[in-house]
Structure 1
Amino acid sequence: MDVNPDVAPAPGRLTVAAVLEQEEIRTGSPEVLAGGNRLSEEVRWVHVADSAAVGGLLEGGELVLTTGQAFRHSAEATGRFLDDVTAAGAAGVVIELVDERSEPATGAIAHLRAAVVGRDLPVVLLTRKVRFVRVTQVAHRVLVGEQLARVERARHVHEVFTQLSLESASEQRIVDRTAILLDSPVVLEDVAHRVLAFHGEDSVGLLRDWVQRARGVGYLEATGRRGGPEDWLQTPVGVRGRRWGRLVVPGPLVDDDEASQVLERAGQALTLARMAGRDERELLYQAQSGLIHELRHSHTLGEGEARTRAAALGLAEAPYYLPVVFRLDRHPDEDPTGLQLRERALLEELTRVVGRARRSALVAGMNSGSLGVLLPVPARQLEDGLVEDLCARLTAARRGEQEPDWSVGVAPSRPGLVEAAAGLDEAVQVAEIAGTLETRRQPFFRFGDLRLRGLLSNLRADPRVATFAAAELAPLLEYDDDAGLDLLERFLAHGGNKSALARTGYLSRPALYARLAKLQDKLGVSLDDAESRTALHVAVLCHRLQE
């Protein structure tokens, strides 16, 4: 039965096997001589050619239809033809070998059978005349229909994710729609392989040992598969050079090309959603920072206006407001950019923690590496508990990945917002002094917790204090004896107890005693004298605070 060329099969993926199922091909008594295991390969186009040098006309993926007039005379010529189309990446070859009487060309068939031995290229023999124009017409209608269907699917995918972006959809909603479009589970993870959102019926099976499994799948800078035990299709999420995660499909897919298109658009939508969220938060940060700056430096902003503006930024009304400052520890050789990035990360973490605790606060950058917080408190007796809870939540938010690298200073609460903002200066000073402590056994510090360091910090601008410290440490400072100063500081920190210092393993006992004797001679005072040790301790603290 003939196939009506005006009626194309339903759009779909065209393969070599699908072409062989055409009625027109079947009338030629097709016989697969080679490559039977590759009949499922996709056909990009169907090309009719009778030239022996057809390879230069191909781009790859074509199914070649030929009568073999240019090479059927010998097995060698037939072999060269097959070599040529194989090298060009053809999907297969259909060869009609019929003589002038429309009978099978037995000699040419023998040559072809000899030439296909050992080949895996699909080679199909036709021993009856076939109208190739009918074959190409039907095949090309299928291919064009498939291309139109792909365009329509691409348009639909584009519209879906554009609408999600316009609606400021959440990450979870974007992941849900992606999974529905792909009809497969989808997972969004961050760079530490923590699952941010997922969609799948069997959540237990999907996420079991996720971190361990995900670590075995390397990141790609483009959509694709990495290979390996977990051969997931993935796409990066985030701006190039600043990736913050990836979207993965940890299950089988029917068509990687179509799935890749959906996954890429989903990744773009997630990137835009995160950027839009950052823009919104950035405006809030700027507004809060501007208000705190005015509260600290403006002499015209009244309490009523301050409270109104703060309430508009989400700050709850309260009887008291507590000034708190978080100051990041300085890392050796850290440049200003690195400190700024850490400050921004702490700002975002702090904002999230306050929100999850269902509290409100005004947060703003202070000096470089410091964040000022105005925290509403319902009663003064609840201050310590609120700050401790905030610090604990902030530490827990890091999930044990990193110890807190900040010090926290707290100033007295005030009933007025303007007064509380003025107290941020004291909180900054407390946090700076707390940052000089070797150990911090409490989550936050008030001025009274700093004792001698707090007093000396208040006096460090007095030139008489600087003169005193310089005179006491002159034998060490004049010769830049950093090792001697370090030894003196350790000795004083252990209360002048040589045995206790030796037990720390800083130096062997004989070496330590010898070094201390030289240090004593250099300073010209007795290290066994309590008053001398006190004077030296004050001088060392002053020197460190002034550095």
Structure 2
Amino acid sequence: MLPTLRSILNLPVVRAADPEILGGGGSLGGDGSLGGDGGLDAPVRWVHVSELLDLAGLLSGGELVLTTGLELDKDPGRTAAYIRSLETAGAAGLIIERTAPRGSTTAALKDAAKAAGMPIAVVHRRVRFVEITEIVHRMIVAEQLEKVEHARDVHEAFTVLSLESAGTAQVVEQAAAMIGASVVLEDLQHHALAFSAQGLPAAELLHDWERRSRTTPPARPAADSTARANTVARSGPEGWLQVPVGIKAQLWGRLVVPLPPDSPHEDEAAVMVLERAAQTLAINRLAERDQRGLSEQAQAGLLSALRQPRGLTEAEALARAGSLGLKRSPFYLPLVFRSLHQDSSPGDPLANQQQERALLELLATALKSTAGNALTASIESGSVGMLLGLAAKELEDHTLQRLAAALSTQVGHGEGDLAARWIIGVGRYRSTLLEAAAGIDEATHVADTAATLRKQDRAYYRATDIRLGGLLALIRNDPRVQQFAESELETVLAAEAEGAQGYLELLGRYLDSGGNKAAMARSGYLSRPTLYARLAKLEQLLEVDLEDPESRTSLHVALMLHRLRGQ
């Protein structure tokens, strides 16, 4: 901290000269202490010794002026103008040596000092100005050196945290420890993301946080460090210290000291710490994002290579997978997460990409709470593949349940539950990584087929859960199979195209009920006479007997193939 006029007047060398305050800064008490507050606590930036009466062009503000006042003795009438000129130039104070009685000059000084806002003092005994100058300048240099050392310590501490990609909480804790006050990191919605409470309970620090934060608007950035310390730091009714977090137009939060230090100098030091902490948080967030993106790309490339090995050996596959975090395990289980959101927005690749990114992050978090580890990556738009390593086959269902539970409890990007958007297809567990990778295709077919089911009441699906649907999913793209489905449903589809709606739905309900007309009527779908009449019309369109089991089987297979279209 810079020395003040109060601290300078308390120096032994000055006290020995019998100082007296004439005005502008309080008075000397009977016990020798300095009373009043005036300008005695203003910082002194430098000491200037001069006998000139015109110092306007020589001062830049914050100086303590020392003079013998000999020039004032020549013309005491210039005393008031002299003091006003010092005040205009921003001087911190004036000390005049008066070792001999000078009646007119002393009277003029006292009169001018009464109206002065700047502290004016006289010393009644001879003092070496050079000694005062040396002492004060050492104090100023020491303060500047302290600032430099503090800035170096702050820089080193947060550089280490940047290099170590430290977590958000660790950065906030470091900032709070260096400032000696509580620090809170909040996002743009005024939610406290991390905090470090210093000297008070966390409940008190965060009490009614959102409302208090909203009444504290973001501070405007300043052009230089001096202005920043005075204008950027404090804001709002509680006088919070704050700095934004992020890069230019991509700000994503701010660091706040809800209980700022008492003095402006401490504020400046605290803002420097906050700024360095904000930079570290921004850099670590970018690095984490880049690292995550590179990791996802690497896993996607490896998963593709594992599915089409082309000479890749099991040992090489295990080594490459191990470098990306998949530990060697006795069993590997292929999984595919198939997006239902893909069907509702096929023309929105950005939305699909965001959904996949959210799923990858969610699965990474969920796996941390299980005994499994995995290689996970997008395999095509709307589908995410996973090779799950398991220490024992008995852990399979437990791990799958944990993953499914994570999907059902997490909320996505404004689109509802992830459970409503993702179907889990499970392949067969294998003892080698390459065999498990080949099973991704089976898991894909399972997930794709499960996505077509009207009743999706399972947490995950295996091939045994989809049965005929799984077979049809495997052969659905065969032209002969497509021709079969078209020929079976041709007349109904043509009627639908011409505006006769409802027959395809009626056929589906009839076949799903096993051909039980009475059960359909009891369900309230249609009244009995209307139902029978429409079924008779349906038989005419199809030109088949709906009571014939083989006809119903053919129609059911054709309808299942029709539902798989586009999947």
Normalising by structure 1, report the TM-score. Answer: 0.69
State the partner residue of 2:120: 124
Alignment deviations for residues 234-258 of structure 1 (CA, whole Å, 9 cap, x no partner): 4445555555555443444351222
State the partner residue of 1:392: 405
State the partner residue of 1:142: 139
| CA distance 1:542–1:29, change in 2 (3 Å) | same
Separation of aligned partners in 2, 1:53 and 1:369:
80
Separation of aligned partners in 1, 2:358 and 2:387:
19
State the partner residue of 1:24: 14
Aligned-pair Cα RMSD in Å: 5.2
Q: Secondary structure at the match of 1:546?
A: coil
State the partner residue of 1:459: 476
> 2:426 is matched by which residue type in structure 1?
A
Q: Is the 8 A contact 1:45 1:143 kept in 2?
A: yes
1:229-308 maps to which residues of 2 (within 5 A)?
229-243=237-251, 246-253=254-261, 255-274=266-285, 284-303=295-314, 305-307=316-318
Q: Which has the larger radius of gyration?
A: 2
| CA distance 1:24–1:13, change in 2 (3 Å) | same
Separation of aligned partners in 1, 2:488 and 2:76:
107
| CA distance 1:94–1:208, change in 2 (3 Å) | same
Separation of aligned partners in 1, 2:505 and 2:75:
97
Q: Secondary structure at the match of 2:47?
A: strand
Separation of aligned partners in 2, 1:373 and 1:540:
28
1:387-426 maps to which residues of 2 (within 5 A)?
387-396=400-409, 403-404=417-418, 406-415=421-430, 416-426=432-442
- Of 321-330 and 196-205, deviating more is 196-205
1:19-168 maps to which residues of 2 (within 5 A)?
19-22=8-11, 23-24=13-14, 27-33=18-24, 36-47=37-48, 54=55, 57-64=58-65, 69=72, 73=77, 77=81, 81=85, 84-85=88-89, 90=90, 92-94=92-94, 96=96, 102-103=102-103, 105=105, 108-109=108-109, 112=112, 115-116=115-116, 121-126=117-122, 134-165=131-162
Q: Is the 8 A contact 1:14 1:143 kept in 2?
A: yes
Alignment deviations for residues 369-417 of structure 1 (CA, whole Å, 9 cap, x no partner): 4321122356778645432311223554559986327312303323243
State the partner residue of 1:209: 207
Q: Secondary structure at the match of 1:30?
A: strand
Separation of aligned partners in 2, 1:274 and 1:267:
11
1:318 to 313, 319, 330: 330
Is 1:371 the equivalent of 2:391? no
Separation of aligned partners in 1, 2:183 and 2:103:
57
Shift of 1:325: 2.0
Shift of 1:144: 1.3
> 1:81 is matched by which residue type in structure 2?
S
Which stretches in structure 1 are left out of the alignment for 5+ residues?
Answer: 1-11, 479-483, 497-524
> 2:566 is matched by which residue type in structure 1?
Q
> 1:352 is matched by which residue type in structure 2?
T
Separation of aligned partners in 1, 2:154 and 2:219:
23
Q: Secondary structure at the match of 1:73?
A: helix
Q: Secondary structure at the match of 2:102?
A: coil
- Of 67-76 and 296-305, deviating more is 67-76
| CA distance 1:470–1:452, change in 2 (3 Å) | farther
Q: Is the 8 A contact 2:449 2:564 kept in 1?
A: no
Q: Is the 8 A contact 1:94 1:124 kept in 2?
A: yes
Separation of aligned partners in 2, 1:237 and 1:475:
62
Separation of aligned partners in 1, 2:506 and 2:56:
87
Normalising by structure 2, report the TM-score. Answer: 0.67
Alignment deviations for residues 257-289 of structure 1 (CA, whole Å, 9 cap, x no partner): 222233333344445555555566556544433
Which stretches in structure 2 are left out of the alignment for 5+ residues?
Answer: 27-36, 222-227, 511-532, 543-551
Separation of aligned partners in 1, 2:23 and 2:561:
91
Q: Is the 8 A contact 1:79 1:115 kept in 2?
A: no
Q: Secondary structure at the match of 1:261?
A: helix
Separation of aligned partners in 2, 1:270 and 1:144:
33
| CA distance 1:204–1:176, change in 2 (3 Å) | closer
- Of 100-109 and 321-330, deviating more is 100-109
Shift of 1:143: 0.9
Q: Secondary structure at the match of 1:298?
A: coil
- Of 93-102 and 243-252, deviating more is 93-102
Separation of aligned partners in 2, 1:471 and 1:16:
102
Give the share of equivalent positions with the same residue, in percent.
Answer: 34
Q: Secondary structure at the match of 1:356?
A: coil
Corresponding pairs, count? 496
1:435-450 maps to which residues of 2 (within 5 A)?
442-446=458-462
